[in-house]
Structure 1
Amino acid sequence: MSDALVLDAAAQDLLFREARTANTFTDEPVSDEQIQAIYDLVKFGPTAFNQQPLRIVLVRSAEARERLVGHMADGNKAKTATAPLVAVVAADHEFHEELPAQFPAFPQAKDLFFTERPVREASSSFNAALQVGYFVVGIRAAGLAAGPMTGFDAAGINKDFFPDGDHSVLAVINIGKPGEDAWYPRNPRLTFDEAVTTV
């Protein structure tokens, strides 16, 4: 069925079929230029009302890395400590402050976002999670491996890295070139017939 796609087979393998969650990395650095190129590609992924609530904190200093590792689950500490780059990705619940003054579609939605914090939180969490998926695929498109994780003390990370209370961590992503024994055995995926129905 891969012939039914416009993307060639090599790109399909790079982004999906052969891409894996990495658990070890080489010491080859990940540059700011690489991360900016990734972001500049994946920022075009759709979000509701173009709200773009994803915020990314690149953890580069030894001091910040040590603080982050302290919040990770035991099984995630070592790989987070040694990955070339770690990104803390979060939803900005005050994303509406970045919306354009002339909101082009659904002006009532902007009014709702400005007045209803629970609506903003639900919307930003969902849409930022979409953007996390785009970000992971973008990392793969750069020839790097991503190790996204949700095993951490979220309250601790929020307090430490987002003390304003307006952001919620969604994932921590280790980024780099895969190292030795980087992959766990691949778990099975649902087939088309198991996951898709037609009505």
Structure 2
Amino acid sequence: MTHVLDQKALDTLFVSARSQNGWLPGDVSDETLKELYELVKMGPTSANCSPARFVFVKGPQAKEKLRPALSSGNLEKTMAAPVTVIAAYDAEFYEKLPQLFPHADARSWFTSSPAAAEETAFRNGTLQAAYLILAARSLGLDAGPMSGFDKPKVDAEFFSGTTWKSNFLINLGHGDPAKVFARLPRLDFADACQILGE
């Protein structure tokens, strides 16, 4: 792939995009959420393991199930967001590997090492959740990723009896520009990066 995105696309995905703290009224359709996932699933994961699982929480009744788990700072904006995504991962993602990585016995790589399975699930599930943020921006949505919630409460309410575990939450919709915080500084290249040559 040699095509370089133009500045407008880069602004949409990175430069001008902001984490949202308030939301304008409106819905995000189920069709848009399905389109979103069709993009997310194409992002790379190790051995195509694809451990991320996403629960799209919409509507007042569904949102009320989230309320007890939210920190006070995240409560109002989460209840107001058109959609809140529970970005989770399947601790037993490897059960899908015969389908997802059929040319090797990849399942055995993880059934023999619970620590490797957990690390792989968490790392790659987090990657896929980051892809979701970029995919949402590419489809004209704003995103507000956040921690600040009680994971055991979320897991008990939404994932009881499963092998899924919550990672973080992502509010989706169209952000309210009046509630965006001032842009915080970022590290310069020299503070965050090294280039090692011969």
Structure 1 counterpart of 2:9, which letter? A
Partner of 1:83: 81
Structure 1 counterpart of 2:18, which letter? R
Length-normalised TM-score, structure 2: 0.92
Partner of 2:137: 140
Q: How much is the aligned-residue C-alpha RMSD, in angstroms?
A: 1.8
2:18 paired residue among 17, 20, 29:
20
1:113 equivalent in alignment to 2:105 = no
Cα distance in structure 2, aligned partners of 1:53 and 1:106: 18
Q: Give structure 1 stretches of 5+ with no counterpart.
A: none
Alignment of 1:21-40 (within 5 A): 21-40=19-38
Structure 1 counterpart of 2:121, which letter? S
8 A contact 2:88–2:165 mirrored in 1: yes
Partner of 1:67: 65
Cα distance in structure 1, aligned partners of 2:9 and 2:118: 35
Tell me the alpha carbon deviations over residues 30-66 of structure 1, each in whole angstroms, 9 at most, x when there is no partner.
0111111111112111001000000001112422211
1:186 paired residue among 170, 179, 183:
183
Tell me the alpha carbon deviations over residues 145-192 of structure 1, each in whole angstroms, 9 at most, x when there is no partner.
001111000111111111125121111111001124131111111112
8 A contact 1:30–1:176 mirrored in 2: yes
Structure 2 counterpart of 1:190, which letter? L
Structure 1 counterpart of 2:169, which letter? V
8 A contact 1:70–1:77 mirrored in 2: no
- Give the match's secondary structure for 2:98: coil
Cα distance in structure 2, aligned partners of 1:138 and 1:75: 26
- Shift in CA distance, 102/173, structure 1 to aligned 2, threshold 3 Å: closer
- Give the match's secondary structure for 1:113: helix
Deviates more, 1:114-123 or 1:134-143: 114-123
Aligned length: 195
Structure 2 counterpart of 1:147, which letter? G
Tell me the alpha carbon deviations over residues 68-95 of structure 1, each in whole angstroms, 9 at most, x when there is no partner.
0210110000011111111111011111
Cα distance in structure 1, aligned partners of 2:169 and 2:194: 33
Q: Give structure 2 stretches of 5+ with no counterpart.
A: none
The list of structure 1 runs, each at least 4 consecutive aligned residues, that deviate by more than 3 angstroms after superposition, is 101-106
- Give the match's secondary structure for 2:9: helix
1:123 paired residue among 113, 120, 125:
120
- Shift in CA distance, 27/189, structure 1 to aligned 2, threshold 3 Å: same
Length-normalised TM-score, structure 1: 0.91
Q: CA deviation at 1:115?
A: 3.4
Cα distance in structure 2, aligned partners of 1:69 and 1:184: 23
- Give the fraction of aligned pairs with identical amino acids, expressed as a percent: 37
